[in-house]
Amino acid sequence: MQPANIPYFERPLFFFDQTRFRRDLASREKPPLQVFKDAIGAAEHQMAERFREGEDVATLVHERALFIDCLLHYAWHQYSWRPGASLLAVGGYGRGELHPHSDIDLLILTEERANDETVDNIERLITFLWDLGLEIGHSVRNVKECLALAAEDITVITNLTESRTVVGDSKPGERLAAGMEGSKLWSTEDFFKAKLAEQDERHNRQQAAEYILEPNIKNAPGGLRDIQTISWVAKYFFRVRTLRQLQGKAFFTEEEFAILQSGESFLWRVRYGLHLLAGRAEERLLFDYQRELAKQFGYEDSDTQLAVEQFMHSYYRIVMALRELNDVLLQYLGEVIQQGGAQAITPINERFQLRGGAIEAAYPQVFNQHPSALLEIFVLMARHPQITRVRASTIRLIREHRHLIDERFRADSANSELFMELLRSARGLSTQLSRMTRYGILGRYLPEFGRVTGQMQHDLFHIYTVDAHTLQVVRNMRSFRGPEAREKFPIAAEILERLRQPELLYIAGLYHDIAKGRGGDHSKLGVVDAAEFCQRHQLPARDRRLVCWLVEKHLLMSQVSQKQDISDPEVVHAFAREVGDREHLDFLYALTVADINATNPELWNSWRASLMRQLYQATQHALRRGLENPVDREEIIEETRSLALEKLSALGLPEASIENIWAQMGEDYFVRESADNIVWHTAAIHELHSNSPLLPSDTLVLTRNSGPGEHDGATQVFVYTPDRANVFAAAVTGLDMLNLNVHDARLYSSASGYTLDTFYVLDESGQPLLDEPQRLQQIRETLQEELELVEDYSKVIQRRTPRRLKMFSLESRAHLSTEPGDQYSTLEITSADRPGLLALIARTFVTHDLRLHNAKISTLGERVEDIFHITDAEGRALCNTETNHALEQAICRELDDHTAP
């Protein structure tokens, strides 16, 4: 810490005419507050224009701090101060750095306790600064209080090490600096440990990921705080004022210093632009601003990538490099700071040794002489769990020699064997793959992986970059082997126990999204890369075929489970034919579950889990039965009716009454519904009609949570009411009003003029309504009220669209198809998600005189991909191509014309 030698009001600021400013203050023609505000407004405008014109951001950041220094000097001298009081800049402002809306952190420092006059001046000064609209953060302390707090709080000591006197008596600042000299308050080792713990806690709050969709450019790993942490620790240890003073002291190489400088400059420019766009101290790179920042940085849309995706790709690569550098430099400092006692060296082999739990190269030329050691080191760490980290000197050697991984290196069978050994390791695979990625090894050994490193997709569905998602898929696969998986992922856990060669699953995980961003079908393009990998690593033909099939079909199981009616035996049989055998089913199930959970944690809920489990078990049954023996439809109907009849008879229902109700139902009902559901529906309908005469207004609404078996991951809402045009619209509107998300809907019309609708719903957190009788009663009452208005129903949900959804404009698409012999036509709708969308779609069906029979609802981030089985008003499939095309266009127009407020 050092007081300024040159008064800030005498330093040149060409955009701020201080002579005129002093003259305006002295003239008193305008109140001082207005004079200051005018100066601030002019400076803000001038610096914003300079930024947009491309001026060096470091100049702007430092000039802004200097400008505030000047203003504070003049503001301070609006009041009369006794000796012993001073105004100090601390934190980022203390370093001479200020972004447009950064806090101006001030310490009003006195030698002793402030007297009444000083206290009054302080209150008036701070009020004046607030009235100016400045983002002031301040504290008032004397020197003794500062030193006492600094001795206890790592944040305080950090801020004070960067403090400087802006205006006022210099003696308090000098006394404070003297009290903090050397290691009087914190030893170097304690300071280092505290800053490291602070960084770990900060990373954890940011989900320990630099790759999230809307990263925090200040606090996320690889962000500005990581650069500052390096700076704080290094300056505290070496007792220097700036990092530039460490050049030539072996702390960092010239290349590392260049990465720090260029990375900081990039992030500063992003932050500066972000503050201007947001009009506040926004540190999150929100969707709201990403597109405009991409434009400011000069990116343009290409055939394969949006401008915003290119911009974010650059961002992620830079923060990844900064995180790697943070790792190296802090590791190096830790080793230097904590090297007090001699550490035993244990040889591992001729190339590596163990020192204090860290692996290091046995000699500096190890990678030059043995390039394979660039892979071997990660295999050794997986093989020996007692190795906790890599020595900083060895990380540097890895980074310096990773260029040795070229075509010749990749073609060497010894290296292929090393990588396959890593994939087969019993522990530590995902940790080592992450470490290889961070040190730039994985992207060189697998160049196709290097191409997707830092690549993002600008949507709400894929919340990680492709490389981060891929590593998470492998991490999920490995977690299926752990004890916790038996409860959350019981089928996947069982599969991993019996899989032959689970490394084949990991390879499929590494390659399933490898072709993202190239244009075309990434599943098919990825097969080419996967085949080349398998051939280079000398996998047998059978294993190659399995890996390539998994890469090509990795979306198949999720699509069938979520978009098709898996209660239909024909759907299951078709899927079983695609899978072919139990082994392919097992591998595909494990890959699909790992993939869904790594795409977006919110995607995996009880509903999706139940769909996947139902499809897996039904396919198992189909494979055991034999693909040449598909299930007979009549056999299913007979079996279901017999089982339901037995249960209903046990409840005391007359068989004649049961048959009378069932006579009104079509065959589809007994194919798609389980015996338990049929019992539930039939008993309720029997009770309704037994207790009251058949009236047109008879309506029944029931709720329950699904039991074990079919769809046991959701709450079922059963509606039985006279069949009218707006029933579906009214029901989904009521559910939407209750913040319930419909994931599936089954609708049947009976010959007696009633509709039987079952909705499978989850709450806003993706969970069924367990043990919530009041909420279930609210559902029943709300739907009853909505259905009473169904004859003249016009309600459409008008809730505010969430911020994130507003950032995406998605033109609606509709595709209507009818296969020969189909009972229904299939309408696929893709549209932007918004409150009340399902009710709006239902209204379009009424408008076009269409009957809805089934709905599969799938929300994927900012868009929905819904599938509806529909007929015309007479119950016939829609077969006229020209009419269907016109209907598709009309539906899209109606959806896009309606915008929620």
Q: Where are the alpha helices (DSSP H) in 663-752?
A: 667-672, 675-691, 727-737
CATH class held by domain 8-185: alpha beta
Quick one: pLDDT at residue 808?
A: 54
* Residue 458 CB partners (closer than 8 Å, separation 6+): 287, 290, 306, 308, 309, 312
Quick one: pLDDT at residue 792?
A: 67
What is the spatial distance between Cα 309 and Cα 298, in angstroms, rounded to a whole number? 13
* Residue 868 CB partners (closer than 8 Å, separation 6+): 826, 827, 829, 841, 845, 852, 854, 855, 856
Condensed to tens digits (0 to 9), the pLDDT of residues 547-569 reads 999 999 999 999 999 888 888 88
What is the spatial distance between Cα 319 and Cα 465, in angstroms, rounded to a whole number? 13
Residue 824 backbone dihedrals phi, psi, to 5 degrees = -120, 160
Amino acid at 320: M
- The residue to which tokens 């709080």 are assigned: 153
**Strands 136-142 vs 104-110: parallel, antiparallel or unpaired:** parallel
Could you tell me the CA-to-CA distances from 163 to 179, 215, 226 in Å, in that order?
A: 13, 29, 20
What is the spatial distance between Cα 65 and Cα 43, in angstroms, rounded to a whole number? 12
* Cβ proximity of 554 and 592 under 8 Å: yes
* Residue 591 CB partners (closer than 8 Å, separation 6+): 473, 477, 505, 508, 509, 512, 550, 554
CATH topology (fold) of 189-337: Four Helix Bundle (Hemerythrin (Met), subunit A) (1.20.120)
Quick one: pLDDT at residue 522?
A: 93
The pTM for the full model equals 0.86
Q: Which two tokens stand for residue 333?
A: 């400092």
Condensed to tens digits (0 to 9), the pLDDT of residues 813-848 reads 889 988 887 788 889 988 877 677 788 888 888 888
Quick one: pLDDT at residue 597?
A: 92
What is the spatial distance between Cα 658 and Cα 689, in angstroms, rounded to a whole number? 12
Q: Structural domain boundaries of the chain? A: 8-185, 189-337, 346-417, 446-625, 632-692, 694-897
Quick one: pLDDT at residue 476?
A: 96
Quick one: pLDDT at residue 46?
A: 95
Quick one: pLDDT at residue 6?
A: 47
Q: Which two tokens stand for residue 873?
A: 């008003």
Could you tell me the CA-to-CA distances from 460 to 805, 806, 859 in Å, in that order?
A: 8, 11, 10
What is the DSSP track for 417-433? HHHHHHHT-SS-HHHHH
Quick one: pLDDT at residue 101?
A: 95
Q: Where are the alpha helices (DSSP H) in 53-90?
A: 57-76
C-alpha neighbours within 13 Å on the C-beta side of residue 127 = 8
List of the chain residues with pLDDT < 70? 1-12, 182-183, 207-211, 339-342, 458-461, 691-697, 706-712, 792-809, 834, 860-863, 898-901
